[in-house]
Chain A
Amino acid sequence: MEKFETLNALVCPLDRSNVDTDAIIPKQYLKSVKRTGFGPNLFDDWRYLDPGEPGMDHSRRRVNPDFVLNQPRYEGARILLARKNFGCGSSREHAVWALTNYGFRVVIAPSFADIFFNNSFKNGLLPLILDEAIVDQLFREAEASPGYRLTVDLQAQTVVTPSGASFPFQVDPFRRHCLLNGLDDIGLTLQHGEDIRAYEARRRTEAPWLF
């Protein structure tokens, strides 16, 4: 997993609540057996005016000029600003892959759906929770000032605006540690193999029908 320490990047505001994972990456793209190549299809139904299918040359499709991601001022954005309950619905990790394949490293929202939140950390995408009032303020600033950038510092756990305002955020110490160091948590868990085997031995006597 790619490390995450600090990021100073352009912000793209997506002003909708309850953005579901079906909207982030529509079902037809879930047929892929890979973790890459989802970037062109991030928000596919909103981003293009014509229907998309896997295997198409997406650069030749008709783009929806009204959709925020297609506006030239947000080109190269790596921080997505979103509303509450971002990532609700399906458990598809393809939603996170689509965001990271596109280039996003941070999603800021007042709240996230649990499974999406969890999937993000496994892929070096930081889902960052700020109070609704602060998110409102960031939306106003991002929409009012072209080229609006934020600095996200995971070590210091702060989001800093261009005017120097700094907002602290919370993140689980374990997840922060893994992100900062780009750690593979399977490797970490396997270090506790003896504990897992001891649990199994105990459980085998308590609930033998499970084995």
Chain B
Amino acid sequence: MTAKTLYDKLWDAHVVRTEEDGTALLYIDRHLVHEVTSPQAFEGLRLAGRKPWRSHSVVAVPDHNVPTRDRDQGIADPVSRTQVETLQQNVRHFGLTFFPMGDIRQGIVHVIGPEQGATLPGMTVVCGDSHTSTHGAFGALAMGIGTSEVEHVLATQCLLQKKMKSMLISVDGQVGPGVTAKDIVLAIIGEIGTAGGTGYAIEFGGDAIRALSMEGRMTVCNMAIEAGARAGMVAVDDTTIDYVKGRPFAPKGAYWHQAVAAWRELHSDPDARFDRVVHIDAAGIEPQVTWGTSPEMVLPVSGKVPNPDAVADEVKANGMRRALEYMGLTAGMPVSDITVDKIFIGSCTNARLEDIRAAAEVVKGRRVAGNVKLALVVPGSGLVKQQAEQEGLDRIFLDAGFEWREPGCSMCLAMNADRLEPGERCASTSNRNFESRQGLGGRTHLVSPAMAAAAAVTGRFVDVRELN
């Protein structure tokens, strides 16, 4: 039998039929839905007189538009409110599983799926959201889709797709203390670029990935899309199975044992061939900080802002010049000289309990620096928030001068009231530093939770390893 990659195994298990040109009908096990990319799909379904093929496969939650404070007053922005209410009406009409605002299980769709056990190894998982790659951490084939595809999956339980190429990114050896999953994935994007993974499904492997918790693996897979790859994944091991066990949607009893036996096969065979293999030396990874307006514009915290004049490719050099101007930085400036105005700890990349604990550890006994106007912690779900409060982490943040908010996407994309003002500079644990992503004219630097916490208490980017 030919050796298979993890991606081959997941693909083969879900192909319903294949057309002559290789376009396959791929069966979808789990469909996660949020309020922004679904209304037009539900409308299309209704206009065509169609129904969800398997309503049981859908889990819906509002996350992008929800306010992170004063929830008892509802949603102030009428346009946001309409969108959330539209989701409510659609789930009611079609009889779908739904965690509304106010339900302890509500939160960012990519946090709650795994938390509830709605994401399981071996599944195909889709959502109208590019960060669906997160769920690949479970040895699942998870992909972001557009709204037309949301409608297609609702109506047919399938996606039309051609098989992607396969890439293995092996992070060899171990990272040093204070270097996190976020630093690993930013370093990977710095290495292969934001289009390096275009057309590929990426499997992350190597000792440094194996050593990560599920939270860390989710952070890495979450940003596969920032490397251009629609899907990122990690093989199943004990860490995966221990995480899934006992979660509300996870299989129970005899099914559990049957499932675990199947999940144990979810790894690439030793002789499996990948279309591309990239090796990264874990020991060489420092805490990372992005300096520009694309996630590939990233540096170690000890680095200096690069000089476009030293770049031969004119299109690339012009892009760097535009980024420097937008970010208000000059070439040659040390990263550690960059001061910040706001701090955002949250998002589907870094709003899980482990992230909040890591930030709290740095913040404990310290105060938010005087030049920082606002420091936000936005937990990824109601359950993350509750657990963090039981551990007293909210007190650590509040005592230091942070705000402790309700769960949602918040300032990762600023669809709700949480945003940067023009020119404001933010240390953010989110995933995109695009122009105006966090608010019109806002300047985003992507970092790990520990690095964001260190920036909060010092007012600038410092190597978190030197704080302790």
Contact = CB atoms under 8 A, between A and B. Distances in A.
A16 B259 contact: no
Interface in A1-46: 15-18, 20, 22-23, 26-28, 30-35, 45
B255 A209 contact: yes
A210 B123 CA distance: 8
Give chain A's interface residue range (CB within 8 Å of chain B): 35 or more
8 contacts: A22-B437, A28-B415, A90-B129, A91-B132, A93-B128, A185-B160, A186-B50, A186-B155
A157 interface: no
B16 A195 contact: yes
A22 B19 contact: no
Given A22-B434, A31-B79, A33-B40, A207 B122 contact: yes
B113 interface: no
Contacts of B123: 210
B391 to A, nearest CB: 32
A196 B16 contact: yes
Given A114-B199, A207-B262, A189 B146 contact: no
Interface string A64-87: 000000000000000000011100
A186 B132 CA distance: 22
B94 interface: no
Contacts of A89: 130, 225, 432, 434
A173 B322 contact: no
Interface in A85-130: 85, 88-94, 96, 111-115, 118-119, 122-123
B315 interface: yes
Given A22-B435, A31-B77, 13 more contacts: A30-B36, A51-B440, A91-B130, A92-B146, A93-B37, A113-B228, A114-B164, A172-B23, A174-B23, A174-B160, A192-B25, A200-B27, A210-B123
A93 B432 contact: no
Contacts of A189: 25, 152, 155-156, 158, 160
Interface string B243-261: 0000000010001101100
A35 B40 CA distance: 6
A37 B319 CA distance: 30
A196 B148 contact: no
A208 interface: yes
B435 A122 contact: no
Interface of A: 15-18, 20, 22-23, 26-28, 30-35, 45, 51, 54-55, 83-85, 88-94, 96, 111-115, 118-119, 122-123, 172-174, 185-186, 189-190, 192-193, 195-196, 199-200, 203, 207-211
A190 B8 CA distance: 26
Nearest to A84: B195
B93 to A, nearest CB: 14
Given A16-B322, A28-B415, A85-B228, A208 B255 contact: yes
A16 B258 contact: no
A16 B319 contact: yes
B259 A209 contact: yes
Contacts of B17: 192, 195
B415 A119 contact: no
Interface in B98-133: 120, 122-123, 128-130, 132
B146 A118 contact: yes
Contacts of A113: 195, 198, 228
Contacts of B467: none
B130 A90 contact: yes
A8 B11 CA distance: 40
Interface of B: 16-17, 19-21, 23, 25, 27, 29, 36-37, 39-40, 43, 48, 50, 53, 56, 64-65, 77, 79-80, 82-83, 86, 120, 122-123, 128-130, 132, 144-149, 151-152, 155-158, 160, 162, 164, 194-195, 198-199, 225, 228-230, 251, 255-256, 258-259, 262, 294, 315-316, 318-319, 322, 413-415, 432, 434-437, 440
Contacts of A32: 79, 83
A111 B199 CA distance: 10
A93 to B, nearest CB: 4
A90 B157 CA distance: 23
Nearest to A196: B16
Nearest to A95: B146
B315 A33 contact: no
A27 B409 CA distance: 12
Contacts of A20: 294, 432, 434
A211 B120 CA distance: 12
Contacts of B132: 91
Contacts of A88: 194-195, 228
A119 B230 CA distance: 13
Contacts of A114: 164, 198-199, 228-230
A85 B195 contact: yes
A31 B194 CA distance: 27
Nearest to B319: A17
A141 B414 CA distance: 39
A17 B146 contact: no
B29 A210 contact: yes
Contacts of A92: 36-37, 146
A90 B36 CA distance: 12
A23 B424 CA distance: 18
Nearest to A85: B195
Nearest to B79: A31
A27 B414 contact: yes
A90 B256 CA distance: 35
Nearest to A29: B79
A115 B146 contact: yes
B151 A119 contact: no
Nearest to A90: B130
A95 to B, nearest CB: 9
Contact of A85 (B148, B152, B198, B255): B198
